[in-house]
Amino acid sequence: MESVRPSRTIFGILLILFLGYAFYQGIIDKNGKPLIGKTKTTDRVSYNMIEKNVNRSRNVSNKLFSGIKVPYKPGTKNLEDGTANIITSIVVNYRGFDTLGEVMVLFTSLTGFLMLFPSLKRKEKLTKPSFIVRNGLIPLYLITLLVGIYIVFHGHLTPGGGFAGGAVIATGLLLLLIAQFKINEKLLSVLETVAGLSFLTIGLLGLFIKGSFLQNFLNPGPLGNLFSSGIVIYINLVIGLKVASELGSLVNRFTEEE
């Protein structure tokens, strides 16, 4: 059992009061008015990303705007980045190098997970799943797979993307494991390797064609179409594949028998 020391509790309460006061001081100005919520998006870095105007110089004179005047509409061609979802545009296109690092972090931590996984000796055998579980989970798995693929492919048009869709697909794999189907772990690791190498290949193609790593070398089509965003949809696909196979091998490890 765990014993709570009163001295630590008092120290914790004092520290929290101090930190709360520091937070409060951080978000008000000299007159005691809140600073947050006042700054317009037009005064920030992401304004250029919304306007899809990063490579050109910034127009300083739009500080008078109460909002952002978007200079394009759905269907516009030849934009700097044809992604309708600006968050995906930042994650995959403008900050694609960050996303590569993020994928690396996920890969490293899950490699550590699989390395350190203790060899559990199961005392009793698993009970066989009933007929209903075994056959009912198959359509459920297919629907989950469909939803995951939809989320991956529409990451540049709607909220979603490679990470969310990959996690949904891995949940489908978990459903398969509940019904005690076997998943080929070799296949998962091959898929993961292929996905990781494809990410790097897309980045290197950008380097050779356009001159910088992970630059969008395909022509962005009309905004709002499925194949409209250049390399963004392919990177999303690759990330989805990688995340799904990594998380799938993670949940697969729990069902391994000695």
Partner 1 sequence: MFWLFLIGSIGLVLIGIFGLITRSHLIKLLLSLNILETGINLTMIVLGYQNGGKVPIIHSLLDLTKPINFVDPLPQALVLTSIVIGLGTTALALILIVNYYYKTGKLSLERSENEKENIDE
Q: Which residues bind partner 1 (CB under 8 A)?
A: 2-5, 8-9, 11-13, 15-16, 19-20, 23, 27, 34, 36-37, 40-41, 44-46, 49-50, 65-70, 72-74, 84-87, 90-91, 95, 98-99, 102, 105-106, 108-110, 112-113, 116-118, 157-159, 161, 163, 223-224, 243, 250
State in angstroms the smallest separation of the CB of 118 from partner 1: 6
Q: Quick one: 81 or 137, whose CB is closer to partner 1?
A: 81
Q: How far is the CB of 116 from partner 1 (least distance, A)?
A: 5
The answer to whether 41 and 68 have CB atoms below 8 angstroms apart is: yes
What H or E segment, with its residue span, contains residue 160?
none
Compute the distance between CA of residue 39 and CA of residue 62 in angstroms, rounded to an integer: 14
Min. distance of Cβ 135 from partner 1 in angstroms?
Answer: 31
Nearer to partner 1, 148 or 161 (CB): 161
Amino acid at 76: T
- Residue 34 is given by DSSP the state B
CB of 233 to partner 1, least distance (A): 16
Quote the crossing angle between the two packed helices 232-253 and 185-209, to the nearest 10°. Answer: 160
Based on CB atoms, which residue is closest to partner 1, 99 or 171? 99
Nearest to partner 1 of 76, 215 (CB atom): 76
* Shorter beta-carbon distance to partner 1: residue 136 or 224: 224
Contacts of 203 (CB under 8 A, 6+ apart): 96, 100, 213, 214
Q: Which is nearer to partner 1, 37 or 139 (CB)?
A: 37
Please, what is the minimum distance in Å from the beta carbon of residue 217 to partner 1? 22
Residue type, 43: D
Q: In terms of CB distance, is 8 or 128 closer to partner 1?
A: 8
Among 229, 239, 98, smallest CA distance to 158 is for 229
Q: Which amino acid makes up residue 176?
A: L
Measured distance CA(84)–CA(88) in Å, rounded: 8
User: Per DSSP, what are the bridge partners of residue 34?
Assistant: 28
Residue 184 DSSP symbol: -
Q: How wide is the angle at C-alpha 245 spanned by C-alphas 199 and 170, nearest 5°?
A: 125
Min. distance of Cβ 208 from partner 1 in angstroms?
Answer: 27
- Measured from the CB of residue 203, what is the shortest distance to partner 1 in angstroms? 17
